[in-house]
Structure 1
Amino acid sequence: MGIVVGYLATPEGRAALDAAVDEARLRSTPVVVVASVRLDEGPERRTETEEALAGVQRELTGLGVAHEVRLLTGGDVADDLITTAEEVGAQLVVLGLRRRSPVGKLILGANAQRVLFDAPCPVLTVKPAAR
């Protein structure tokens, strides 16, 4: 059991991580942080993601939040989140959503939509605070 959160080093990823930590504390359960790097993104992207995840791991340790960090390579972001949620018996999946143009608001991002429809548990979507 746990809270699965999709993480990117973006304001949306930060909002998702913060919400996941809040939910984990409320439910007394660990957080499973999932970051995905596609093979076509190159070694620089993987290195950046590893560094960001190391910072997240230090932060969660410092906060005393039970956690696991997973860096998954080569797969599909939505599949990675859904599979992880199934593997850990997740209580909740948390996703950060970015603001979209008026036209983009009509259509949710493909990855977010797949997670919403196919996750084995409830999905919480969050967005960063307005600037």
Structure 2
Amino acid sequence: MTVVLAWTTTPEGQAAQEAALSEAARRGLDLVVVPVEEGAPTPDLHADGVDVRVRHPDRRDRDVVGDFLDIAAEEEASLVVIGVRHRSAVGKLLLGSVAQQILLESAAPVLAVKGRTPAREA
């Protein structure tokens, strides 16, 4: 059993990374990091007591969600962690939503983490 992280270089991805490391440590599980951005650098994550491995999606068919979910299934994920951000309904309609697809299609429970927002001035 593992925690599987859909890793991106965004603020939402950073928040998801922190949550995934915390959950893996709390549950005593390994963390599998899957970079889901095309051309993103390989993450270098370390945490005390957590075995962290990186698995790259196959990308032969360019279906990032399918590739990610295949890895999660192969790793017997007990938890999937993703970063999410607010998008308008039109934005979701036109561009789709990787996070939404993962939420709907994952066999494992999904922890959706929002990125930090800057404090607003009064």
Superposition TM-score, scaled by structure 1 size: 0.75
Aligned to 1:42: none
Structure with the bigger percentage of helix: 1
Cα gap change, 1:10 to 1:86, in 2 (>3 Å): same
Partner of 2:6: 6
Whether 2:84 is the aligned partner of 1:97: answer yes
- Other structure's SS at 1:125 match: strand
Pair 85,102 (structure 1): closer, same or farther in 2 beyond 3 Å: closer
Q: CA RMSD in A?
A: 2.4
Alignment partner, residue 118 of structure 1: 105
Task: Assess if the C-alpha contact under 8 Å between 1:4 and 1:81 holds in 2.
Answer: no
The residue type paired with residue 71 of structure 1 is: H
The percent of aligned pairs where both chains have the same amino acid is: 40
Structure 2 residues without counterparts, runs of 5 or longer: none
AA matched with 1:12: E
TM-score (norm 2): 0.80
Count of matched residue pairs: 115
User: Post-superposition, which runs of at least 4 consecutive aligned residues in structure 1 deviate over 3 A?
Assistant: 101-106
C-alpha distance in structure 2 between counterparts of 1:28 and 1:88, whole Å: 15
1:71 aligned partner: 56
Aligned-partner Cα distance in 1 for 2:105–2:86:
22
Structure 2 counterpart of 1:27: 27
Q: Secondary structure at the match of 1:18?
A: helix
